[in-house]
């Protein structure tokens, strides 16, 4: 859209800066939220959010190289992420849940599902020669050449966090590794998910075909040079503002597009892909067995844990019941001075609600109400669900 309508009108430097800021924030927030999930589908969804941030950062360079990296990354991501979501669906229809903790060790023996899940997770982490790794490498090179030295670091860190979260879940589910964390609080688990088909016993062969096909597609994007070159030609045509104007206003035909540089593997790109994969394995191991170390470093990690816990509660569904409930409670707040919920004699602006049971003034003693009838003189109490 920028090259078709706004190139030459909006300053490219400002557009690049705006999209880089949005991309960095999206990538980091998505990676942290992905790492904090136990609901397998939400975990994969937040990893998609994180990688969308990486796509935006790569395309924000606003040149053919960055756009090529984003296009290759998107194509490889589609194959790997589609395969992982299909495996999550198989888990749901086999065990009735997609909760990482509830499925602890229940996938033992499902070697085919475990293998496909592990391959998808490693592709997500940026393992060469998958298409995700090639797109990541091209994007890293484009950001470095464009003067954004933080780009390779960002792509390696986000790939390691998201890939490590998926590997951690796979290790718990299929191998029974790690210990179960305590005190999860109000979180969205995967136990409330409903199956979409009848109960499955293992993976039917026909259901494994699309998963294998998607992973092979992700592999082909990185291993078959023709795929990356075709995506590169499309990226060059996409950012060709002068060619677009010539076709629209002068009816010029689209000429041949040269193969852009930087669509093949480099030593640095392979090295960074291996580094992000190793870091992903380390992140998974830390998530599985790092409980004791986290306990010893509790004072240092407490601010981070509080912030992450707030984000997790915000996205876990708790706010959907808390916020409307608070709004409804404030709308139904008793206004009359005789209400037992308002403390008499309090100065203006200092009236408080007696929330705890037993603190409100007791009504005068009456004869017991008949069975099955509610005593209308009982103090008004706010109960969960009463305002829905």
Domain positions in the chain are 2-181+198-315
How do residues 301-348 score in pLDDT, each as one tens digit?
A: 556 555 666 666 665 554 443 334 433 333 343 444 343 333 444 444
50 in helix, strand or coil?
A: helix
Handedness of CA 15, 17, 21, 26 (dihedral sign): positive
pLDDT of 65: 92
In the 8-state DSSP scheme, what is residue 266?
-
Distances (CA, A) of 177 to 107, 203, 293, 332: 11, 22, 17, 50
Average pLDDT by stretches of 10, the chain with 388 residues: 70 90 96 93 96 96 92 96 94 88 91 94 96 96 94 97 97 91 57 56 75 96 94 88 76 76 91 97 92 56 59 55 39 39 41 41 45 43 40
pTM of the shown model: 0.75
> What region, left, alpha or beta, does residue 109 occupy, with left being phi > 0 and alpha being psi -120 to 50 degrees?
left
How do residues 17-62 score in pLDDT, each as one tens digit?
A: 999 999 999 999 999 999 999 999 999 999 999 999 999 999 999 8
Least Cα distance to 188 among 286, 327, 71, 43 occurs for 43
In the 8-state DSSP scheme, what is residue 101?
T
Phi, psi of 74 (to 5 degrees): -65, -40
What lies within 8 Å, CB to CB, of 278 at 6+ separation is none
pLDDT of 140: 96
pLDDT of 250: 75
pLDDT of 239: 85
pLDDT of 282: 96
pLDDT of 21: 96
Q: Environment class of residue 263 by beta-carbon count within 10 Å: exposed (0-12), middle (13-18) or buried (19+)?
A: buried
């Amino acid at each position: 859209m920028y090259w078709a309508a706004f190139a030459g009108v909006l300053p490219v430097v400002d557009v690049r800066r705006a999209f880089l800021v949005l991309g960095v924030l999206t990538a980091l927030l998505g990676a942290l939220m992905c790492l904090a999930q136990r609901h397998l589908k939400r975990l994969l969804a937040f990893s998609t959010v994180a990688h969308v941030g990486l796509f935006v950062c790569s395309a924000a360079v606003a040149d053919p190289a960055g756009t090529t990296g984003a296009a290759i990354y998107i194509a490889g991501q589609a194959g790997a992420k589609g395969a992982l979501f299909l495996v999550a669906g198989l888990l749901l229809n086999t065990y009735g849940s997609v909760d990482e903790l509830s499925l602890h060790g229940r996938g033992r023996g499902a070697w085919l599902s475990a293998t496909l899940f592990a391959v998808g997770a490693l592709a997500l982490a940026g393992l060469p020669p998958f298409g995700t790794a090639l797109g990541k490498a091209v994007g890293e090179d484009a950001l470095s050449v464009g003067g954004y030295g933080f780009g390779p670091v960002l792509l390696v860190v986000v790939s390691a966090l998201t890939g490590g979260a998926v590997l951690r879940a796979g290790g718990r589910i299929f191998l029974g590794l790690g210990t179960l964390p305590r005190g999860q609080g109000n979180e969205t688990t995967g136990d409330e998910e409903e199956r979409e088909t009848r109960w499955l016993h293992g993976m039917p062969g026909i259901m494994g075909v699309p998963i294998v096909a998607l992973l092979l597609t992700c592999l082909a994007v990185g291993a078959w040079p023709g795929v990356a070159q075709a995506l590169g030609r499309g990226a060059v045509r996409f950012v060709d503002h002068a060619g677009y104007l010539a076709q629209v206003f002068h009816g010029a035909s689209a000429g041949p597009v040269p193969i852009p540089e930087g669509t093949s593997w480099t030593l640095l790109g392979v090295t960074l892909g291996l580094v992000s994969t190793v870091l992903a394995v380390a992140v998974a191991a830390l998530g599985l067995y790092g409980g004791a170390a986290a306990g010893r470093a509790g004072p240092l990690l407490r601010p981070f844990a509080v912030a992450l816990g707030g984000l997790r509660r915000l996205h876990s569904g708790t706010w959907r019941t808390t916020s409307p409930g608070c709004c409804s409670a404030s709308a139904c707040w008793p206004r009359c001075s005789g209400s037992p919920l308002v403390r008499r004699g309090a100065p203006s602006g200092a009236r408080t609600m007696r929330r705890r049971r037993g603190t409100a003034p007791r009504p005068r003693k009456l004869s017991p109400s008949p069975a099955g009838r509610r005593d209308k003189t009982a103090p008004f109490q706010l109960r969960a669900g009463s305002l829905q």
